[in-house]
């Protein structure tokens, strides 16, 4: 290597260093993000940077110049690293502040209340009715919705040719090879027989639940609806007891001034039977069916009709909910339209 070549390399290195000193600070200051700054740092001080090239060239520099040139290279590298670190700190603070601002919660804003659920209006009415009878000493119980023909009809004195047994009225279930017909219960009355079979009198029972019939959906009918059944069995129970209990219920549910009257009717499982009507909103309307328990029902469950007497009653919870809240179309209570259901919270 001749003298001119040996002298020219240090000059080129020094020129490159001076260019870095004058150009790099402005470029570092103009970096707008940490990622952009890291790319620039790799260009200025990385493996392919002028700093790295200068250090690789030191081996070709004359020994008497190598120390000073090496120190100059390191000085520039230290200056650039300091500028890069300072700019990085500024950019990281700015990015953290931006992230915090994006996630900030304005504590002065009103809170967001979660949607509050509620008990369905029909269930509200059923619970209220059950509570009235429980307060009179009755026991609440529930029974199976899939029922046998015996408990749904036979034990309740429905004749074999009664229209309710026909599949035009009742939803029968294909339950495989079983000795009797299986169906979706058409009323909550089967619990009368089931409960009496398992207990000795006295019995004071109220049974809320869902029932099923082959009905077309219209403003007052549904194939799925809700009933509440009541039963009282004891010594010397009379129709006067029935009237007193149901009149008390009417006063509790509809108001203490509610007038009631009983109109003769027919049910297979009670004799005599009646409908209880109430004077409400300016007119008489049927509220429930009732009657003295038919002796045939007592015999079906092993009670002696010569020893005990009793009365039973049943009412539609859906209809009572409509009466209570002035609903004219039963379908509104099953549509799950929150605009309607929220009115009955």
- Summarised one tens digit per residue, pLDDT across range 258-293 is 999 999 999 999 999 999 999 988 899 999 999 999
Q: Hunting for tokens 């790099």 — which residue is that?
A: 24
Of 60 and 97, the one with more pLDDT: 97
Write down the mean pLDDT value for the chain.
Answer: 88
Q: How confident is the model at residue 137 (pLDDT cuts 50, 70, 90)?
A: very high
Please write the tens of the pLDDT for every residue from 165-219: 998 899 999 887 877 889 999 999 999 999 999 999 999 999 999 999 998 888 8
The pTM of this model reads: 0.67
Quick one: pLDDT at residue 125? 94
Two tokens, residue 306: 């010569």
CA nearest to 189, candidates 263, 273, 293, 276: 293
- Under CATH, which number does the domain 121-344 receive? 3.30.930.10
Highest mean pLDDT among 28-37, 81-90, 98-107, 130-139: 130-139
Lowest mean pLDDT among 9-23, 195-209, 230-244, 280-294: 9-23
Closest CA to 311 of 253, 255, 254, 262: 262
* pLDDT category of residue 314 using cuts at 50, 70 and 90: very high
pLDDT at 224 over 70: yes
pLDDT band at 6 (very low <50, low <70, confident <90, very high): very low
Residue 8 pLDDT > 60: no
Continuous H helices in 228-272? 239-254
Count other Cβ atoms within 10 Å, centred on residue 210.
Answer: 16
Q: What is the pLDDT, as a whole number, of residue 52?
A: 79
Any residues with CB less than 8 A from the CB of 71 and at least 6 apart, and which?
Answer: none
Give, in order, the Cα–Cα distances in Å from 201 to each of 71, 107, 270, 307, 312: 110, 64, 18, 10, 14
For residue 244, is pLDDT > 80? yes
């Amino acid at each position: 290597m001749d003298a001119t070549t040996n002298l020219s390399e240090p000059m080129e290195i020094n020129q490159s260093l001076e260019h870095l000193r004058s150009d790099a600070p402005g470029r570092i200051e103009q970096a707008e993000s940490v990622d952009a700054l890291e790319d620039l740092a790799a260009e200025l001080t990385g493996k392919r940077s002028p700093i790295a090239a200068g250090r690789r060239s030191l081996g070709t520099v004359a020994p008497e110049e190598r120390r000073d040139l090496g120190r100059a290279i390191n000085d520039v590298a230290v200056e650039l690293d300091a500028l890069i670190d300072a700019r990085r700190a500024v950019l990281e603070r700015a990015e953290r502040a931006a992230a915090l601002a994006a996630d900030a919660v304005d504590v002065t804003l009103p809170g967001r209340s979660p949607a509050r659920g509620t008990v369905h209006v029909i269930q509200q009415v059923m619970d209220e009715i059950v509570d009235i009878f429980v307060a009179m000493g009755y026991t609440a119980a529930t029974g199976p919705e899939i029922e046998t023909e015996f408990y749904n009809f036979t034990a309740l004195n429905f004749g074999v040719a009664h229209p309710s047994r026909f599949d035009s009225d009742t939803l029968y279930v294909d339950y495989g090879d079983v000795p009797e017909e299986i169906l979706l219960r058409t009323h909550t009355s089967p619990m009368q027989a089931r409960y009496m079979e398992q207990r000795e009198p006295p019995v004071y029972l109220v049974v809320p639940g869902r029932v099923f019939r082959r009905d077309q959906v219209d403003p007052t009918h549904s194939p799925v609806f809700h009933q509440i059944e009541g039963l009282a069995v004891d010594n010397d129970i009379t129709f006067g007891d029935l009237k007193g209990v149901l009149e008390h219920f009417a006063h509790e549910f509809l108001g203490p001034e509610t007038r009631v009257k009983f109109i003769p009717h027919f049910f297979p499982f009670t004799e005599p039977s009646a409908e209880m009507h109430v004077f409400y909103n300016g007119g008489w309307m049927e509220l429930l069916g009732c009657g003295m328990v038919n002796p045939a029902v007592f015999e079906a469950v092993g009670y002696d009709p010569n020893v005990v007497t009793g009365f039973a009653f049943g009412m539609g919870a859906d209809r009572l909910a409509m009466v209570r809240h002035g609903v004219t179309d039963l379908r509104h209570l099953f549509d799950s339209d929150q605009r309607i259901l929220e009115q009955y919270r």
